[in-house]
Chain A
Amino acid sequence: MTLTEKILARAAGKGSVKAGDNVWVKADILMTHDVCGPGTIGVFKREFGPEAKVWDRHKVVVIPDHYIFTADSKSNRNVDILRDFVREQNITYFYDVIDDPNGSWKFDPSKGPLQRQYGSQYAGVCHTALPQKGHTRPGEILFGTDSHTCMAGAYNEFATGIGNTDAGFVMGTGKLLLKVPETMHFRLEGQLQPGVMAKDIILHCIGEIGFDGATYRAMQFDGPAVKNLSMDDRTTIANMAIEAGGKNGIFECDDQTRAAVDARCRLNGTRQTYEPVERDRHESFVYELTVDLSKLEPTVACHPDPGRRQLARLMTQTQLDRAYVGSCTGGKTSDFLEFARVLRGKKVVIDTFGVPASPEIVHDLQTARWDGQTVWQILVDAGVQMTENAGCAACLGGPVDTFGRMNAPLKCISATNRNFPGRMGHRESQVFLASPATVAASALTGHITDPREYLS
């Protein structure tokens, strides 16, 4: 069996499963957020009754992160709906925006978009928060009401996005009927060259299979190169499995995985026992691709879909209005470090926005120093508008007052994950997806630029 089949078989209580089987699997974690949580709660209450209790109050993880730093009253209300439900159900893991469990959330626009407006429990973008708070463990099943839930596959678990109705069902029963996906195999070999990042690997793979190339399928990433990829790198890759239509992306468990998971579970006091799945000799794949990482170059996915692959060096004619680094995909500490490495001591020539994915990342960037200067300050000095208000922000547009949202038909190069028409705001705007290094180089020139030009 493949890694995905092994996890699903175990969760279904079966000795083996094969692609195409429909199986009931037990959930280990159900994650929901402020955009789909209220609707999921609505379905749960409607279907299981007003007095119903969630199947396991320790396994429902609630992470407001999408529309937080906005004056939109309905969005603020949605965070309050989550809080009311968490209180009613006595849910253990709720990463609230505010500290008062009986309060209500209201964003204060008069303080501006840059200054921190959250309390001590807020955790930022759900997919980044899940591993940081010790909710991702090898061998487990994670459901989330968000398509990028597949990011947690980097930790050797089966993680996939589901809708409100399915999530309402899981909330009540802890189970879900799933079709076992076929597995596509991506074997990674060789060493990434300077200026090339994990984002380039996944943009390359999606370009190879097309952006519906993995529909209904699992994407398994393994091979000798994986040991040189950090957990951040692996999450970037697994995160974008959905951008090829994939049901999940998955990696093997190694020492790095175990070290990260153990440390995080200990830190937040979550369960520290888990059972990884390992590869065996009897794997059946519907597709195989070997990628030599040493041959990859900085890559861009052109408007309007993540499968429109092109090399950055061939796109210098594309003029830009804006650059953006942030989101679960591209707003991690390692992403901002690469971003800063290119921008250091220089000035951006277009509007450039930086939105860290989590408060912890804000802290990292404000404390990491290069020659006495914080990375945060290096970015600010380069002209980047850096906000402390970690969250999904303009990656998916959001309410019109969202930080970095495109409210006009602009062209933006972005370290985020999706570039369909209107994704970052205005429906005639255009988004070009690239690594943080490529975004940085492009911000310095105002057109799409290969970051290797700025590496000395």
Chain B
Amino acid sequence: MNLATIPQNSGERQDLKHLRLSIAILREYLRELTLAGKSDQILLRWARRVHPYGHIASFFASSRMMNFIDNLPRRRQHILMQSVFTGPVYVVRDNIDTDQMISAQYLNLVPTIPEEYEKLGSFALGGLPDSLYPVRFVKPGQMDSDYPIVVGGRNFGCGSSREHAPIALGSAGCHAVLAESFARIFFRNAVATGELYPCEIADRLCDALQTGDVVTVDLDKLTVTVEATGKVHAIKPLGDVRQVVDAGGLFNYARKTGMMSAA
């Protein structure tokens, strides 16, 4: 198939994204088959489950092959590492709980299955009431958000311990959340997964900014600069959080610093 001939409207771009992902999974999976030396058994299970008309991606989603997919060398989907990034912000208010970040009905998605990881992103912040948030974080029909930075108020991420919450934000393309304060488990999960930088800001940015305002976040200087006005807000020191997220999460950090042996 000549990928260049595929029209670039959003629906088909998504299919293309899925297709690429599926091909990548398949390629890695086939390699895993030869390495694992369990090919007969696995192929038998495959043969029983393959639907001849099913899209290959949905096959992966509905199969019980996750044990094998999990063994792939993929440690995480993206590694942030950038110390300065600029982009439009998405602004939410106080007490945004994990149900609003990822509606409970989508917790059937397993974050370590790559296709389901991608899907979680498409639902990020989807639980915000339409009446309060008519502009959506992820536009209907898209897989990713146009907003790499989320601005919140107090107690961001309260509620459940579901790691799907920071993962959904990270999968949608969010690099950092700038909030007055964070709930404990969300903060820890954001760092442990390395999905995003949870940055505490003393100033109440959710009052000062509106969705779409462009800011530059500088993690070295610990500043947030509002592009339109030039106003600078300070980020509270990130401490160890910076290195863990830089490394791509807790496990990568543990290996990098010799706390765990390299796998």
A78 → chain B closest CB, angstroms: 6
Chain B interface bracket (under 10, 10 to 19, 20 to 34, 35 or more): 35 or more
Stretch from B62-70, B79-87, B196-204 contacting the other chain: B62-70
Interface string of B233-263 (1 = CB under 8 A from A): 0000000000000000111000000000001
CB of B130 closer than 8 Å to a CB of A: yes
A215 touches B161 (CB 8 A): no
- Known contacts being A147-B161, A212-B155, is A423 close to B70, with CB within 8 Å? no
B160 touches A146 (CB 8 A): yes
B110 touches A42 (CB 8 A): yes
A49 touches B163 (CB 8 A): no
Find chain B residues with CB under 8 A from A396 CB. Answer: 99, 104, 160
Interface string of A73-107 (1 = CB under 8 A from B): 11101101100110010000000000000000000
B227 → chain A closest CB, angstroms: 31
Nearest neighbor of A38 in chain B, beta-carbon distance: B110
A46 touches B103 (CB 8 A): no
- Known contacts being A47-B263, A422-B127, is A169 close to B250, with CB within 8 Å? yes
- Known contacts being A45-B70, A84-B67, is A161 close to B111, with CB within 8 Å? no
CB of B158 closer than 8 Å to a CB of A: yes
B246 → chain A closest CB, angstroms: 16
- Name the contact of B99 in the complex, choosing from A166, A216, A245, A422 (C-beta under 8 A): A422
Find chain A residues with CB under 8 A from B184 CB. Answer: 215-216, 245, 247
- Known contacts being A81-B66, A420-B100, is A75 close to B159, with CB within 8 Å? no
Stretch from B21-29, B139-147, B186-194, B207-215 contacting the other chain: B186-194
Nearest neighbor of A75 in chain B, beta-carbon distance: B108
CB of B109 closer than 8 Å to a CB of A: yes
B107 touches A67 (CB 8 A): yes
A interface residues with partner B (beta carbon < 8 Å): 35-36, 38-39, 41-43, 45-50, 66-67, 72-75, 77-78, 80-81, 84-85, 88, 144-147, 149, 161-166, 168-169, 211-212, 215-216, 245, 247, 304-305, 396-400, 418, 420-423, 427-428
B105 touches A399 (CB 8 A): yes
Can you spell out 10 A-B residue pairs with CB atoms less than 8 angstroms apart?
A36-B162, A41-B66, A42-B110, A42-B113, A45-B67, A47-B251, A74-B61, A149-B161, A212-B154, A422-B99
- Known contacts being A42-B70, A163-B188, A163-B193, is A147 close to B159, with CB within 8 Å? yes
A413 → chain B closest CB, angstroms: 18
Most buried by B among A75, A77, A418, A427: A427
Find chain B residues with CB under 8 A from A247 CB. Answer: 184
Find chain A residues with CB under 8 A from B127 CB. Answer: 421-422, 427
- Known contacts being A75-B108, A147-B160, A212-B155, is A305 close to B95, with CB within 8 Å? yes
CB of B169 closer than 8 Å to a CB of A: no
B71 → chain A closest CB, angstroms: 4
| Total number of residue pairs linking A and B with CB closer than 8 Å | 177
- Name the contact of B183 in the complex, choosing from A48, A74, A162, A212 (C-beta under 8 A): A212
CB of B8 closer than 8 Å to a CB of A: no
B192 touches A245 (CB 8 A): no
CB of B128 closer than 8 Å to a CB of A: yes
Q: How far is the CA of A80 from the CA of B75 in the complex (A)?
A: 24
B161 touches A81 (CB 8 A): no
- Name the contact of A46 in the complex, choosing from B70, B107, B158, B164 (C-beta under 8 A): B70
- Name the contact of B189 in the complex, choosing from A73, A165, A245 (C-beta under 8 A): A165
A420 touches B95 (CB 8 A): yes
A166 touches B154 (CB 8 A): no
A420 touches B71 (CB 8 A): no
A72 touches B108 (CB 8 A): yes
CB of B54 closer than 8 Å to a CB of A: no
- Known contacts being A39-B112, A161-B185, A420-B97, is A50 close to B192, with CB within 8 Å? no
CB of B9 closer than 8 Å to a CB of A: no
- Name the contact of B105 in the complex, choosing from A39, A45, A77, A397 (C-beta under 8 A): A397
CB of B171 closer than 8 Å to a CB of A: no
Top 8 A-B residue pairs of the complex, sorted by shortest distance between their CB atoms? A42-B112, A163-B189, A161-B161, A163-B163, A165-B192, A74-B108, A420-B97, A212-B155
B250 touches A166 (CB 8 A): yes
Q: How far is the CA of A127 from the CA of B240 in the complex (A)?
A: 33
CB of B7 closer than 8 Å to a CB of A: no
Find chain A residues with CB under 8 A from B181 CB. Answer: 212, 215
CB of B129 closer than 8 Å to a CB of A: yes
Q: How far is the CA of A77 from the CA of B108 in the complex (A)?
A: 9
- Name the contact of A42 in the complex, choosing from B107, B111, B249 (C-beta under 8 A): B111
Q: How far is the CA of A132 from the CA of B223 in the complex (A)?
A: 51
